[in-house]
Structure 1
Amino acid sequence: MIYPVIWQDNQAILIDQTRLPETSTTIAIDSYNAMANAIKTMIVRGAPAIGVAAGYGMYLGAREIETENKTQFLQHLEEIAQHLRQTRPTAVNLFWAIDRQLQTAHQHSGNVAEIKATLLETAQQIQAEDVATCQAIGDHGLTALPQTPEHLTILTHCNAGALATAGYGTALGVVRSLWRENRLQRVYADETRPRLQGAKLTAWECVQEGIPVTVISDNMSAHCMQQGLIHA
């Protein structure tokens, strides 16, 4: 399984998506400023994955706050939240995860140390919940696909895979479930200009898991459908 964000050794480890597919490397994030930069520069991208990153970013920021005064702590946490909000204003999950962490902190009855510990737990919950949601999407998506032929060809656009989520993927999660059930013949991945997420990311994910994939230019999609090469 591909996970774009993991929590390990008291820091967040991100797959650097700006370097895929030529180089597969990770970056260790141990501060909220570093996480904000990773979101802003698209080291991590895709709304669900950004939400997971923001959840950990809120904890990392909380960890840096030195005061034991709860009121002052919450004020500083609000400032950290505002900084993270400005990184990707179009990512809905970014705001949702930040607000969830703020709600967790404000509603907590414990001291600052206990709030910090709970913020880490909440970040991990956000991640686990998204993986479970993606797996459910993948399995439910199977029922929406044609039942014939036995082995299907699937057209994808952009990247809605594990890299864009906490893991498994949404649209590509359906592809993974199809592959698991031995019902997938091939993925045709639109290159997806101008950033080429299909060619760089979707194709890379498929290759990592042995899923047959062919990258096509965006303007080939209609031709492939006209020729009957695409089932869904």
Structure 2
Amino acid sequence: MSKSHPVDENAEILSLYWDNDRLYFLDQTLLPVDVVREEQTSIEQVWDSIKKLKVRGAPAIGVAGAYGLYIGARSHAGLSIEEFMGKLQEMAVYLNSSRPTAVNLSWGLKRMTSVAESSASTGSSTAQVIERLKEEAEAIHQQDQELCRAIGETGRPLIKDGMGVQTHCNAGGLATSALGTATAPMYLAHRQGVSFKVYVDETRPLLQGARLTSWELLRAGVDVTLICDNMAASLMASGKVDLIIVGTDRVAANGDVANKIGTYGLAILAKHFGIPFYVACPSSTVDLNTATGDAIPIEERNSEEVTSFGGRQTGPEDVNVWNPAFDVTPAEHVTGIISEKGILRAPYSEKLINLFRGL
């Protein structure tokens, strides 16, 4: 049975914790009021936590999915290696169904199943394959932390004294296992004494910017101002924004990027006002098998997220609702992609292939 634990207000805040062979998620649905860590004891619970956004953000759910597959694998230790491998594939497909847009989830699960297949092919027992899965999940976790720092170091020079930096949704530490993607350059610049302001869009309908990004930046001592989504144009027109950095859940082979709904509009505004618009992500978010943004599956969520606000009904019960969780920003609106391997600039197709396939 899972247990929830309040987190000490002085403790380091992480989206997920791996301690003594146990997995915990910070329940982000309760933020910013309650800071609670919930133990994950089954693959079904991990699936549900990802689906309900208790853990969210492309890199974080990639790590969460890897640990979730290991947790599921543990419960089938008594199977023969042949039966186990078949069950492992079923569990990977099941976990991947929790959220279809973020490619990091499928990337992490494929990496896990590939490791298991390689181990099994050398004659390993079921127990040995399960142990190998644990090691790989831990490696994915560690590498995500390293990638976030590298992204921060890549993007840090973009932030200068006196700048106003805008971001959307949450591509912070809560969306990864460390410093975040879009916020990583901000955190490093802040630690190095650069004086700048961050403007955070609230990000309707689930307010990830308001509930999560502004909370974690404020907690870190960053100068942060929260705005409603429909204030972005006025903010840019006022001259207060010099740079925009957002995250992404998937980058297509041509440089189109899928990110939280509202990102496309922000990019169009940035182009109108001549403001550089950057996207930050690890290489695992690049999907070279998806040619353009048109082929990226867009998750649609339930209508209640739009017809209610703060637990109160704000729309008619029978009104039609369209609630895509993401939109796709065409590559032509992206100034650059900040990765752990450098900043890419248009045209993207060949550069993405060369950089992320290592050619």
| Counterparts of 2:155 and 2:97, CA distance in 1 | 34
Q: What is the aligned partner in structure 2 of residue 165 from structure 1?
A: 176
Amino acid at match of 2:137: A
Amino acid at match of 2:203: T
Flag structure 2 segments of 5+ consecutive residues without an equivalent: 1-11, 244-359
More displaced stretch, 47-56 vs 88-97: 88-97
**Quick one: which of 205, 214, 225 aligns to 2:225?**
214
| 2:131 pairs with 1:120 | no
Q: What is the aligned partner in structure 2 of residue 140 from structure 1?
A: 154
Q: Structure 2-normalised TM-score?
A: 0.62
Q: What is the aligned partner in structure 1 of residue 145 from structure 2?
A: 131
Using the aligned pairs only, state the percent identity: 39
Which SS does the other structure have where 2:215 is aligned?
helix
Q: What is the aligned partner in structure 1 of residue 355 from structure 2?
A: none
Which SS does the other structure have where 2:25 is aligned?
strand
Q: What is the aligned partner in structure 2 of residue 39 from structure 1?
A: 50
Question: How far does residue 9 in structure 1 lie from its aligned partner after superposition?
Answer: 3.0
Question: How far does residue 8 in structure 1 lie from its aligned partner after superposition?
Answer: 1.3
Deviations 1:142-169 (A, max 9, x none): 2334x4xx23221111111111112100
The structure that is strand-richer by fraction is 2
Decide whether the 8 Å contact of 2:77 with 2:130 is kept in 1: no
| Counterparts of 1:91 and 1:153, CA distance in 2 | 28
| Counterparts of 1:184 and 1:133, CA distance in 2 | 25
Which SS does the other structure have where 1:189 is aligned?
strand
Amino acid at match of 1:221: A
Amino acid at match of 2:135: E
Question: How far does residue 221 in structure 1 lie from its aligned partner after superposition?
Answer: 1.8
Q: What is the aligned partner in structure 2 of residue 189 from structure 1?
A: 200
**Quick one: which of 92, 103, 113 aligns to 1:81?**
92
Q: What is the aligned partner in structure 2 of residue 58 from structure 1?
A: 69
Q: What is the Cα-based RMSD across aligned positions, in Å?
A: 1.3
| 2:39 pairs with 1:25 | no
| Counterparts of 2:128 and 2:68, CA distance in 1 | 17
Q: What is the aligned partner in structure 1 of residue 187 from structure 2?
A: 176
Decide whether the 8 Å contact of 1:175 with 1:184 is kept in 2: no
Amino acid at match of 2:56: R
The structure that is helix-richer by fraction is 1
| 2:105 pairs with 1:94 | yes
Question: After superposition, where does 1:7-22 map in structure 2 within 5 Å?
Answer: 7-22=18-33
Which SS does the other structure have where 1:168 is aligned?
coil
Decide whether the 8 Å contact of 1:152 with 1:183 is kept in 2: no
Decide whether the 8 Å contact of 1:2 with 1:167 is kept in 2: no
Q: What is the aligned partner in structure 1 of residue 303 from structure 2?
A: none
Q: Structure 1-normalised TM-score?
A: 0.94
Flag structure 1 segments of 5+ consecutive residues without an equivalent: none
Q: What is the aligned partner in structure 1 of residue 234 from structure 2?
A: 223
Amino acid at match of 1:106: E
Decide whether the 8 Å contact of 2:77 with 2:126 is kept in 1: no
**Quick one: which of 82, 87, 95 aligns to 1:71?**
82
Which SS does the other structure have where 1:155 is aligned?
strand
Which SS does the other structure have where 1:12 is aligned?
strand
Amino acid at match of 2:125: N
| Counterparts of 1:217 and 1:24, CA distance in 2 | 24
| Counterparts of 1:21 and 1:7, CA distance in 2 | 22
Q: Deviation above 2 Å: which 4+ runs of structure 1?
A: 150-153
Q: What is the aligned partner in structure 1 of residue 349 from structure 2?
A: none
Equivalent pairs counted in the alignment come to 229
